[in-house]
Amino acid sequence: MLKRVFTALLLISFILSGLYLWLILPLNWQTVSSKETPGGKWIAYHLQSGSEAGEAPYGDHIVLASSYWPLGQYYGEVVFAGYCGNSLGYQWLDTHQLQLDCVGEKVMKRPDTFKGVQIKYQIVDKAPHNKPPQLTQ
């Protein structure tokens, strides 16, 4: 009897976890695009937050995850968070270098490296009307 109750509880928790992963978690995020490294080890995902979730609520995020990791866009590492409007671009320069380009108002997170991947940034801050844009790296 105890074995059946334990099995039922385990099955119910597995089903609820699956429903959370497949139905609820993606509601806050839109996957805009993804790009795999030339060697196939990493995938960079461009996500946009649709809520207060994330390091840049309602903003842009670049997430790095191992290519073999299922749902990597939700469980990878955020390597960029900010507000780029429609101008966020990214590309792999090689297996260990990722280039990000953003014309935006505010950057919340931008580490230089993640697990051996060097991240290069070309960020142009939107300036007030009386100042020219400034390039930061």
Q: What are the tens digits of pLDDT across the range 121-133?
A: 888 876 555 555 5
- Whether 104 contacts 83, CB under 8 Å: yes
3-state secondary structure of 102: strand
Residues 6+ apart with CB under 8 A from 12: none
Q: What is the pLDDT of residues 40-80, one digit of tens each?
A: 888 999 988 888 877 788 888 899 888 887 777 777 888 88
What confidence tier does 92 reach under pLDDT thresholds 50, 70, 90? very high
pTM, entire model:
0.72
- Mean pLDDT score of the chain: 79
Q: Shortest CA distance to 103 belongs to which of 119, 127, 79?
A: 127
Of all residues in the chain, the percent with pLDDT exceeding 90 is 2
What confidence tier does 31 reach under pLDDT thresholds 50, 70, 90? confident
